[in-house]
Amino acid sequence: MITDTTALEHLDEQALRRLAQELMSTVGAQSQVLAEHERVLRERDQLINEKDLKIARLTQEIAVYRRWRFDKRSEAFKGAQRSLFDEDIDADLAAMQAELAALLPKNDKPAAPKDKPRRNTFPPELPRTEFHHEPETTTCGCGCALKRIGEDVSEKLDYTPGVFTVERHIRGKWACAACQTLTQAPVPPHIIDKGIPTPGLLAHVMVAKYQDHLPLYRQERIFGRAGLEIPRSTLSQWVGVCGVRLQPLVDALRQCMLKLPVLHADETHVPMLKPGSGKTHRSFIWTYVSGRFEQLKAVIYEFHDNRGKVNPESFLAGWKGQLVCDAYGGYHGLMAEGVTHIGCMAHARRYFFDLHKATGSDVADQALVIIRELYNIERDCKDLDTQARWRIRQTRSKPIMERYRAWLVSQRLLATDGTQLAKAIDYSLKHWPALVRYLEDGQLPIDNNSAESEIRPVAVGRSNWQFAGSLRAGKRAAAVMSLIQSARLNGHDPYVYLKDIFTRLPTHPNSRIEELLPHNWTAPTV
């Protein structure tokens, strides 16, 4: 490029224009580079600000939870209620500390609590299995042979129902006499760094708590009878950390479900303790299940401290499929955003069933007979492909539904307003368009029983643990139960599934997280 002013005087007009274009091109390229640098800096500043806000929020939340844990008002909880409160708060604290540790730089990790219990050695009578970890080569980089000079031994606790065993991980130390180099195999990665539990023990604790509905204070007693008492506070910390580690799988499972054209949804109430007040609060678990005839089998639970419409709208944000659900008003906002409502015949049937059981109504009995015909047809075509199911519904179910609606209209003219019979008929007629949509698409189910079946474990758990110990505890329970029940839907043993997941997660790349989801997972070969 010419920059000498004397040389510029001898250039013709065309050369000057070329020079000007070169200069403009250089300036433009530099401007683009600067703009890109500014964009990267803005994004980095935004990430730093978001991380700082998360760190501040977690730090404050940890302080609040610690105050709750030892506050006098927490003494208002008694017996099993107190036990659940303690174990859930301890698990919440461990979860928040794990989240905080992931956000902070490696050289700025939060200090361990002063009251952290000292780890005792395992009883010598427990069976032990040794695992040796040695370097891949015993030749030093300088060419000399390494000499074994010692070893580090760490013990981890494993558990199969009724029996504790100990895994002894032995890492030999190898030294080079020539260059004074020390070589040792790295510490195998684990879900809980420097912790004592194996993936098998962690899987057992999680399955016992979230599938078998055994609170940790009961597990503490069971472990004591097996020969080793594990403090409830320690079990709580394991549960809290495992909940944090499993959350990315639940997030990935949600993304897979939102690609499906048909979903089921339902909700049920769960009492939640309010640590700051010493009282309970009515909360809800929302259940989202893949369509009955979808190849992907999955269920996701979401815990919220209210029944507001914002909950399903947030979970299904951007989804425009067909939702099988009851007529609860919380779903109406989704319909306004393009989601199609598919009615539940089982819900409509329930009105007539309850009426017949209470009064022996002949009209209710006639309705039940007609609905039974529809279900018999569904039973005949449940294993057929979508097109064959649609054809059968068109030829057999559609005429029945047309006669059924005419019959409902005629019976409504005879029913007295305000009676249970009138309410039962009004429900079906009011929601008729949603109830008959399944006739036009063989991929749609006749009812929402898939969601109601998957919400049943929540009801069973509620009768055992009675309530959630905190909002965080409820969300953690919902997340873990999502993976456990999804594993069951895909024919997997939840214990085997979680044990393998806990083994692989520490080294599994996040970009391939979908490989670990229940519908993609295959049991490891022995």
Averaged pLDDT of the chain: 86
The counts of H helices and E strands in the chain are 17, 9
Q: Which residue has the tokens 């993936």?
A: 199
Tokens of 174: 């190898």
Q: In 28-162, at which residue ranges do the beta strands (DSSP E only) sit?
A: 128-133, 147-160
Percent of the chain clearing pLDDT 70 (strictly above):
87
Query: Which residues partner with 322 through β-bridges?
Result: 262, 340
Q: Which residue has the tokens 């007539």?
A: 352
pLDDT classification of 78: cutoffs 50, 70, 90: low
Those residues whose C-beta lies under 8 Å from the C-beta of residue 298, and which sit 6 or more positions away, are 253, 256, 257, 289, 290, 486, 489, 517, 518, 519
- Higher pLDDT, residue 105 or 495: 495
Judge contact between 287 and 461, C-beta under 8 A.
no
* CA separation for the pair 241, 56 (Å, rounded): 20
Compute how many other C-beta atoms are within 10 angstroms of the C-beta atom of residue 330: 20
Give the model's pLDDT for residue 10: 59
Give the model's pLDDT for residue 36: 80
- Higher pLDDT, residue 67 or 209: 209
> Residue 190 above 60 pLDDT?
yes
- Span 92-110, average pLDDT: 73
- Span 304-320, average pLDDT: 92
Query: Which residues partner with 485 through β-bridges?
Result: none
- Span 222-250, average pLDDT: 90
DSSP class of 393: I
Compute how many other C-beta atoms are within 10 angstroms of the C-beta atom of residue 356: 18
Tokens of 150: 């010692």
The closest of 103, 96, 87 to 62, measured between CA atoms, is 96
Query: Which residues partner with 183 through β-bridges?
Result: 174
> Residue 347 above 80 pLDDT?
yes
> Residue 277 above 80 pLDDT?
no
Torsion sign (Cα): 136, 138, 144, 148:
positive
> Residue 82 above 90 pLDDT?
no
* CA separation for the pair 451, 456 (Å, rounded): 9
Q: In 225-379, at which residue ranges do the beta strands (DSSP E only) sit?
A: 262-274, 279-290, 299-304, 322-324, 340-342
- Span 117-129, average pLDDT: 75
Tokens of 1: 């490029």
Judge contact between 165 and 128, C-beta under 8 A.
yes
- Span 437-461, average pLDDT: 89
